[in-house]
Chain A
Amino acid sequence: MTIDFETPKPILQMQVMLQTVAENMMRSTSREFDENEHAIPWDYVEFMHTAMRSMGGGGGLTVTEDKPKEGAEKRPPLGYQKLAAQIEMLAWGDVGYYLITPGGGLGAAAVQAAGTPEQKAKFLARFNDDKPTYAAMCMTEPGAGSDTSAIRARAILDEATKEWIINGEKIFVTGGDKSFTEYEKLGKGFIVVWASIDPSAGRSGMRAFVVESGTPGVKITKLEHKLGIRASDTASISLVDARVPFENVLGSPTVEKTTTGFKGAMATFDATRPLVAASGLGVARAALEFLKEKLKENGVEIRYGLPRNKLTSIERDVIDMDIQVRSAWLMVLKAVWMADNKKPNALESSMSKVKAGDVTTKVTQKAVEILGPLGYSREFLLEKWFRDAKITDIYEGTGQINRMVVARQILGYSGAELR
């Protein structure tokens, strides 16, 4: 190994292809689906499903490895690196669309991370079927956001029928509607619901349950109207005496006096945080490129190489945006490279999210400011990207939560020492 920044060929090829998709299937209708919240861009959904299946991806945007040809030299794994690059490019097209790329999403990720081989076989095969299929993660509740240990949803085992009875109220479920509501054009999805099997045990009592689409007692009660990422549905889901088969619990059905169950859930965040960071940085890059294009059209050149006290204010801003977007992207690359190479990356993963959350919001805000009315007008997509960008610093752990994770790592503190 030696330090190397050469983009691997498989990633380059994939980027070229996805850029075409982004330009022709996303940007062209971005505005339409921003203005018609909750409408589904079926063209994109069906195209992506077919495309991913034909590439043998199946299961949507997940970590995939090209099978090495027989006798070929063994290459280092690229799965997470490829996925981050995919996500960045799709988000460059439209981050709302990226979020509705068919597949298992965070729901399948939970099964992948905590499921038994039987559970994986049972729940994950469907994503490779004829119809696009979704799964979602239900964690947040009205009274439990970043503090997931405050989750109130409750799962009780009915010894007679060997079923779990789940009650609770879940909000902010990304893709909850497409995962649970039965659409003719979609396959049967599921949601993964976090609930406690023993409230006295705190975090160690927390479990995730696979709840199949259409389960009685489960209802989509609301679809949120949001600041941005409007192509992506965000659902509220209520569960009233919802019955779920015993074998749908992910992880051990009994409570031990440890927090390993919960730590399992948190470990999935180490893998997903740089990916969320990547999605934000796609938006940031889109905004920065648009800004540069408009400045150029208006005869404003960025004079790279000049001392900073000779630059105009706009030039300084653009150069700073270049620095921020590029360096944040390198942090994402490092975090996913570590994931591919099985190096513990909790610190790098959270740092990349902290940085990307900051960069994405600031860059899009600044781009709107610099372009004046062009930035504010809905004639262009920049104002939309500004609205889309903000979610990066909120979901998958707010910027503040991730600062906590980073701080604990660099200080060597436990959750009790730094709270």
Chain B
Amino acid sequence: MYSFEPNEEQQMLIDAVGKYASNDLRPAAHDAEESRELPKKLVNKGWELGFLQASTPEAYGGFGERSAVTGVLALEEMAFGDLAGALAVLTPSLFATPILLGGSEEQKQQYLPKIVGGDWAPYTAALMEMSFDFDPNALKTTAKADGDTYVLNGEKIFVPFAKDTEAMLVYASLDGVTQGFIVTKGTAGLSISEEREKLMGLNALPMYRVKLENVAASRLGGASGHNFELILSAMRIASASAAVGVARSSFEYARNYAKEREAFGVKIAQKQAIAFFLAEMATEMEAIRLLTWEAAWKLDNNKDDAHTTAYLAQAGAADMAMMVTDRGVQIYGGHGYIRENPVELLLRNGRGFASLLGLVII
């Protein structure tokens, strides 16, 4: 039976996250980007909304079951507030969610209660590599079996909070197949850059480069490993829903601005050139939002084409976010180019969805 209505529980979560996004994240976004710093209180407040906790079963210290649909609903709201802030709040999920999806019983017991039971703590994951043809299914970082453990070699980029992390999940190619490996703080051969990564956007999110030289690690899921596709698709739909949130933020700023700004004696929103822009932005956002919901629903229900749909949602979302955030700036005209106004940051963040992967998972 088709239905496009979130259930009561989901609606409560959407409302709570939406409030946090509008009242806390959104007003802080500009200064956080410029000062390259997210207030700790802000991140803690987001963590206390309990999104990861509600997605973790009681047996592992949480109070609910993971639902990809609930995840995309909540993440769109949070990313609407601020992408960097949303990614920071959800960084522990980069480590915890793959364990939930593919970890061994022992790994779940060892990490999940500690993460969801405590304050926000910088557990993280390293997927991306500095290569133009970066492909999550063809990583250059390698893993080799060495008795019961594995040895990792390679270099990872854009790893959020790597400097402070207790443990991170590093993705590497094991005989051509991508697998996650748990690397703990201080392991020999693990080095983390002093300098933070510098990107076009997302500067409030502290990211580091991670080098691995014969680093000993344990494999996610133990000796038999795990299904990486499940993790990848969870990253893809997360990316898609975050893109919808960022786009909606730009759309709303632009719509409100167009209703205020006058030219030729009328509000510019009364000109078809602007009104049609906005109509198309709204239409494209809705299209990708629904595709993302469907992909999430297919993942929750183990449908045959779930992974393909997640891939399509992510690809479509990258284009949509670019189109919408670009038009957001265009509608502001010259003012859109000035960093005092919010839409240029959204354009920089919007472009990221085509290049970035593995910075968020739900």
Nearest 7 pairs between A and B by C-beta? A327-B287, A407-B275, A330-B290, A2-B7, A323-B316, A406-B279, A1-B5
Within 8 A of B (CB), among A311-356: 319-320, 322-324, 326-328, 330-331, 333-334, 337-338, 348, 351, 354-355
Which of A304, A327, A333 contacts B2, CB < 8 Å? A333
Which of A76, A304, A331, A418 contacts B290, CB < 8 Å? A331
Q: How far is the CA of A408 from the CA of B287 in the complex (A)?
A: 19
Which of B135, B301, B313 contacts A310, CB < 8 Å? B135
Within 8 A of B (CB), among A273-316: 304-310
Q: Contact check, A6 vs B312: say whether CB atoms are below 8 A apart.
A: no
Within 8 A of A (CB), among B207-224: none
User: Is B298 part of the binding interface, using a Cβ–Cβ cutoff of 8 Å?
Assistant: yes
Q: Contact check, B275 vs A5: say whether CB atoms are below 8 A apart.
A: no
Closest A residue, CB atoms, query B133: A310
Q: How far is the CA of A326 from the CA of B240 in the complex (A)?
A: 15
Q: Contact check, A413 vs B270: say whether CB atoms are below 8 A apart.
A: yes
Q: In the assembled complex, which residues on chain B have CB atoms less than 8 Å from the CB atom of A3? A: 3-7, 10, 69, 73, 293, 297
Q: Contact check, B6 vs A2: say whether CB atoms are below 8 A apart.
A: yes
Q: Contact check, A323 vs B291: say whether CB atoms are below 8 A apart.
A: yes
Q: In the assembled complex, which residues on chain A have CB atoms less than 8 Å from the CB atom of B291? A: 323, 326-327, 330
Q: In the assembled complex, which residues on chain A have CB atoms less than 8 Å from the CB atom of B307? A: 305
Given the contacts A307-B133, A307-B134, A337 and B3 also touching, CB distance less than 8 Å: yes
Given the contacts A3-B297, A6-B2, A410 and B135 also touching, CB distance less than 8 Å: no
Q: Contact check, B297 vs A4: say whether CB atoms are below 8 A apart.
A: yes
User: Is B163 part of the binding interface, using a Cβ–Cβ cutoff of 8 Å?
Assistant: no
Q: Contact check, B283 vs A355: say whether CB atoms are below 8 A apart.
A: yes
Q: Could you tell me the distance in whole angstroms from the C-beta of A281 to the nearest C-beta in chain B?
A: 12
Given the contacts A330-B290, A403-B276, A410-B279, A7 and B2 also touching, CB distance less than 8 Å: yes
| Sample of 25 A–B contacts (CB below 8 Å) | A1-B5, A3-B4, A3-B297, A4-B3, A5-B298, A75-B1, A76-B1, A304-B308, A307-B133, A319-B315, A326-B291, A327-B290, A330-B287, A331-B290, A338-B4, A355-B284, A355-B287, A403-B276, A407-B272, A407-B279, A410-B255, A410-B279, A411-B269, A413-B270, A413-B275
Q: How far is the CA of A8 from the CA of B2 in the complex (A)?
A: 7
Given the contacts A326-B312, A403-B276, A4 and B1 also touching, CB distance less than 8 Å: yes
When each residue 306-319 of chain B gets 1 if its CB lies under 8 Å from chain A and 0 otherwise, what string results?
Answer: 01110111011011
User: Is A70 part of the binding interface, using a Cβ–Cβ cutoff of 8 Å?
Assistant: no
Q: In the assembled complex, which residues on chain A have CB atoms less than 8 Å from the CB atom of B174? A: none
Most A Cβ at <10 Å: residue of B134, B279, B307:
B279
Within 8 A of A (CB), among B94-116: none
Within 8 A of A (CB), among B273-293: 275-276, 278-280, 282-284, 286-288, 290-291, 293
Q: Contact check, B275 vs A404: say whether CB atoms are below 8 A apart.
A: yes
Q: Could you tell me the distance in whole angstroms from the C-beta of B216 to the nearest C-beta in chain A?
A: 30
User: Is A379 part of the binding interface, using a Cβ–Cβ cutoff of 8 Å?
Assistant: no
Q: Is the interface of B mostly helix, strand, loop or mixed?
A: helix
Q: Contact check, B287 vs A406: say whether CB atoms are below 8 A apart.
A: no
User: Is A81 part of the binding interface, using a Cβ–Cβ cutoff of 8 Å?
Assistant: yes
Q: In the assembled complex, which residues on chain B have CB atoms less than 8 Å from the CB atom of A81? A: 2
Q: Contact check, B137 vs A305: say whether CB atoms are below 8 A apart.
A: yes
Q: Could you tell me the distance in whole angstroms from the C-beta of B136 to the nearest C-beta in chain A?
A: 8
User: Is B354 part of the binding interface, using a Cβ–Cβ cutoff of 8 Å?
Assistant: yes
Q: Contact check, A2 vs B255: say whether CB atoms are below 8 A apart.
A: no
Q: Contact check, A308 vs B279: say whether CB atoms are below 8 A apart.
A: no
Interface residue tally for chain A (C-beta within 8 Å): 47
Q: Could you tell me the distance in whole angstroms from the C-beta of A156 to the nearest C-beta in chain B?
A: 37
Q: What is the count of residue pairs linking A and B with beta-carbon distances less than 8 angstroms? A: 142
Given the contacts A309-B133, A351-B283, A337 and B4 also touching, CB distance less than 8 Å: yes
Q: In the assembled complex, which residues on chain B have CB atoms less than 8 Å from the CB atom of A306? A: 135
User: Is A417 part of the binding interface, using a Cβ–Cβ cutoff of 8 Å?
Assistant: yes
When each residue 1-37 of chain B gets 1 if its CB lies under 8 Å from chain A and 0 otherwise, what string results?
Answer: 1111111001000000000000000000000000000
Within 8 A of B (CB), among A355-406: 355, 400, 403-404, 406
Most B Cβ at <10 Å: residue of A310, A328, A403:
A403
Q: How far is the CA of A319 from the CA of B69 in the complex (A)?
A: 23
Q: In the assembled complex, which residues on chain A have CB atoms less than 8 Å from the CB atom of B137? A: 305
Q: How far is the CA of A377 from the CA of B315 in the complex (A)?
A: 32
Q: Contact check, A354 vs B279: say whether CB atoms are below 8 A apart.
A: yes
Q: How far is the CA of A242 from the CA of B3 in the complex (A)?
A: 48
Closest A residue, CB atoms, query B275: A407
Closest A residue, CB atoms, query B266: A417
Q: How far is the CA of A307 from the CA of B255 in the complex (A)?
A: 33
Q: How far is the CA of A415 from the CA of B298 in the complex (A)?
A: 41
Q: Could you tell me the distance in whole angstroms from the C-beta of A94 to the nearest C-beta in chain B?
A: 26
User: Is B294 part of the binding interface, using a Cβ–Cβ cutoff of 8 Å?
Assistant: yes
Q: Could you tell me the distance in whole angstroms from the C-beta of B186 to the nearest C-beta in chain A?
A: 33
User: Is B259 part of the binding interface, using a Cβ–Cβ cutoff of 8 Å?
Assistant: yes
Q: In the assembled complex, which residues on chain A have CB atoms less than 8 Å from the CB atom of B133? A: 307, 309-310
Q: Could you tell me the distance in whole angstroms from the C-beta of A409 to the nearest C-beta in chain B?
A: 9
Q: How far is the CA of A411 from the CA of B15 in the complex (A)?
A: 23
Closest B residue, CB atoms, query A75: B1
Most B Cβ at <10 Å: residue of A304, A307, A309:
A307
Q: Contact check, A418 vs B270: say whether CB atoms are below 8 A apart.
A: yes
Q: In the assembled complex, which residues on chain A have CB atoms less than 8 Å from the CB atom of B258? A: 411
User: Is B264 part of the binding interface, using a Cβ–Cβ cutoff of 8 Å?
Assistant: no
Q: Could you tell me the distance in whole angstroms from the C-beta of A348 to the nearest C-beta in chain B?
A: 8
Q: How far is the CA of A323 from the CA of B236 in the complex (A)?
A: 14
Which of B3, B7, B312 contacts A323, CB < 8 Å? B312
Q: A328-B287, A410-B279 are in contact. List 15 more A-B contacts (CB 8 A).
A: A2-B5, A3-B69, A3-B293, A3-B297, A4-B297, A308-B318, A330-B291, A330-B294, A333-B2, A338-B4, A406-B283, A407-B276, A411-B259, A411-B278, A418-B269
Q: Contact check, B278 vs A410: say whether CB atoms are below 8 A apart.
A: yes
Closest B residue, CB atoms, query A323: B316
Q: How far is the CA of A319 from the CA of B132 in the complex (A)?
A: 21
Most B Cβ at <10 Å: residue of A5, A307, A334, A406:
A5
Closest B residue, CB atoms, query A76: B1
Q: How far is the CA of A411 from the CA of B279 in the complex (A)?
A: 9
Q: How far is the CA of A67 from the CA of B272 in the complex (A)?
A: 47
Q: In the assembled complex, which residues on chain B have CB atoms less than 8 Å from the CB atom of A327? A: 287-288, 290-291, 316
Q: Contact check, B1 vs A407: say whether CB atoms are below 8 A apart.
A: no
When each residue 64-85 of chain B gets 1 if its CB lies under 8 Å from chain A and 0 otherwise, what string results?
Answer: 0000010001000000000000
When each residue 200-241 of chain B gets 1 if its CB lies under 8 Å from chain A and 0 otherwise, what string results?
Answer: 000000000000000000000000000000000000000000
Q: Contact check, A1 vs B275: say whether CB atoms are below 8 A apart.
A: no
Most B Cβ at <10 Å: residue of A81, A354, A410:
A410
Q: Contact check, A2 vs B10: say whether CB atoms are below 8 A apart.
A: yes
Which of B278, B293, B301, B313 contacts A407, CB < 8 Å? B278
Q: Contact check, A305 vs B311: say whether CB atoms are below 8 A apart.
A: yes
